[in-house]
Each structure stands twice: as structure tokens, then as C-alpha cells.
Structure 1
Amino acid sequence: MTRRYSRAELDAGRETRLPDLVAPNLRVLLVGINPGLSSAVAGRHFATPGNRLWPALHRSGFTPRLLTPEEDEELLGLGIGITSLVARPTVRASELTRDEYVEGGRRLRETVLALRPQWLAPLGVTGYRAAFGVRDAAVGLREESVGATRIWILPNPSGLNAHYPPLALAREFARLRVAAGMPDRSGVLSPGGAAAGRERS
């Protein structure tokens, strides 16, 4: 279970910078907007209580089991990495400035050109629009690319994103997994799988 930190611990997390979880030639590089304070304190990606990234990765077939934030490094062995548009941890992304987004987009381009992942997967349209100035960006495959790296925007896995309940979120993640040619490691979205014909929310 994700630990809940004290106010003092969270405040100290504002000065922390969470290292990228990356390697050359990944199949998919996931891009969060910026770390939450809980993630910064834990030193692990997407450790904020209520974030649904890890269930979505499993349910969509990216991971063979439900990983915890403490097991984030196991993603590299599956060809998946994690970085952030903006390194500065905050409680909410609304605390970030336009300049931070733009600079984050520039840094992300450099990272992608250096590491050459097959797919770049921003988690949410808001950060992508702000960082790259693409006002009409929507979830799904994009026409633009970064070098040879193709772009597929995924929904933001935050628990506050009411537009995508868990099953809908997993299905969007699974669309990218299929496009990337990655196997269904969980089987939960296959015919007759655990998610088939189930869940309305």
C-alpha cells in the first residue's frame, strides 16, 4: 500500500528531484507532467495515493502483474521507461508555470533524441499541449514525431480524471501496447479475460 507522508515530509519533498527511469531504445517512454510530493519523498514514480498508473499498466497488458511504485525499476526490463515534463514536484500540476512547461518540452525532446524510444507516451493532453503548443492535441496517435520516435497521448491516470474510469483507462493503454507490438502480458483484456464485459465505472 502506498504510504501517506506527514506534512513536514511532503514539504521537504519540494526540494527533491526524482531521477528519470530510462534506458536507450525503450519500446515506450511514459511522460508524466511532474512528480507529486509523495513520489518525490518516496523516490519512486507515481507513488501518489490514488494514482492509477500501475493498475492501468497491468490491466492493459503492459505488465504481467500489478507492480507497486517500489518496483518501478522492473519496467525497464519490459521495455518501458518513465520521465516527467517538469522535474519540480508539486501538490498539483496547476502550480507549474508556462515557462516550466516549455522548458520541459525542450528537455524532453533532447532526452528522446538521445535515447530513441520507439514510442513517446505523454500521460494527459494538458501537459502535452502546454509543452509543445499543440492546442488541438487529443488522446491517441499523433501525426508529429520526435526524430524517429512516434507519439501516442494516453489519458492522465490521476484519480481525479473522471473522464476515464479504470476500464476505459486500461483500454486506452492497451491500444498503445498493441500499436507498439508488445505482448499482452496480463491477458485481462483478451476475450473471456477478467475485464471482458465487466465494469461500468
Structure 2
Amino acid sequence: MQGQPPPKPTRAMLLAAHGLEINDLIANGLRVLFCGINPGLYSGATGHHFARPGNRFWPALHVGGFTPRLMHPWEKAELLGLGLGITNFVARTTNTAAELTDEEIRAGAALLRRKVRRYAPRVLAILGIGAYRIGFGCKEAALGLQDQTIGSTRIWVLPNPSGLNAHYTPASLGRLFGELNAFIVQQG
């Protein structure tokens, strides 16, 4: 484990984090570029993606076989060495993704397409089917591999790992992340 966890943000720090941005964790030729909807206030206050306790992204990565151990948000830089990156549809932090407009998500999808063309990950994993449906105009999309691609990059849709998404348990998220990992391994 590298580094130490950041101090727990105070209420004032969380409020001050509204509208901040978190830098992408991205490099050329990643196996997977994970794309969240947008960072929450806890992430904005700490500077780390998926940082709020209760967010199931990090456990799902491990259970799905992407990381050799359960990693923590402050260890995010280690993901690049595993061929993994993180970005978002919308960079600005909000209390909940419900604060975003459809127009922001569509504009974010256009920016995301440009990033994917530039960095050429093997798979773009969208973390949130609603955001994918809005951003990419695919109203009938389901979880899993999509027919749509961006250049040679395949698109795979996963559930939003936020603790607010009660439709999926940690075990089911891990299984779904594992299906993506198995697909990548199978593709060579």
C-alpha cells in the first residue's frame, strides 16, 4: 500500500469542493479507461476518484480481477501500471449526479470521444447506464458490451458503483466487473 489516506473532509471542506475538478488518470494504450458520471464532493475534497466511503468502485475492481488486492482511492496512480485509467463524463464535482443536465452529459460524451480517440484504450467502461444512454444517444442500451465503438475502442457499460445505487450489491458489481475483465483476457 502506498501513501496514507487523506484526512476525512470536514463539512466545510465538502461544501467548498462543489464545482472543483479532478484530473483524469489516463495514458496511451490502456486496457480499460473507466468513465464515471462525475466526481462527488468527497472526491473533490480529497482529490481522489471514487473516494467516498461506501463507493464500491475499488472493491469491484478487485473482485472483478483487475487489481491484485483491494486498493484505495489515494493509490490511484498504481492503476496506470495495471493498464487502467479513470475519467468522467463531466469533470465538475456535485453533491449527486442528478445535479447534471442532459446537455452537460452530452457535451461530456463529445469530450470523452475525443479523449478515447487520442489515448486509444482497448475498452471504454462507462460506469452508469443512464449516462451512457443520454451521452451516446442509445436509449435502449443494456449493460455489457455495446455495438457502438469509438475507433477501435470497444464500449462496455457497467452499473454506477456509487453507494447510492442500491440496485446492485457489492457481489453483483464484482461479478459484472469480472465479466468485463474476462472479455478483455479473451480478446488477448
Note whether the superposition's TM-score is higher than 0.5. yes
- Could you say what secondary structure the match of 1:29 adopts? strand
Count of aligned residue pairs for this structure pair: 182
Deviant stretches of 4+, over 3 Å: 1-4
**Shift in Å at residue 162 of structure 1?**
2.0
CA distance in 2, matches of 1:28, 1:42: 24
CA distance in 1, matches of 2:7, 2:141: 34
- Could you say what secondary structure the match of 2:77 adopts? helix
Q: 1:135 aligns with which of 129, 139, 142?
A: 139
Which protein is bigger by CA-based radius of gyration? 1
Q: 1:148 aligns with which of 152, 159, 164?
A: 152
Map of 2:99 onto structure 1: 95
Map of 2:39 onto structure 1: 35
* Conserved? CA contact 1:112–1:149, under 8 Å: yes
CA distance in 2, matches of 1:49, 1:171: 20
Name the CA shift for 1:48/1:71 in 2 (closer, same or farther; >3 Å).
Answer: same
**Shift in Å at residue 97 of structure 1?**
1.0
Structure 1 residues 35-88: Cα deviation after superposition (integer angstroms, max 9, x where no partner) = 001101111110012100001111111000000000011100000000000011
Map of 1:161 onto structure 2: 165
* Structure 2 length-normalised TM: 0.93
Gaps of 5+ in 2: none
CA RMSD, 1 decimal = 1.3
Q: 2:56 aligns with which of 38, 52, 57?
A: 52
Q: 1:9 aligns with which of 13, 17, 20?
A: 13
Tell me the percent identity.
52
Map of 2:111 onto structure 1: 107
Give 1:150's aligned amino acid: R
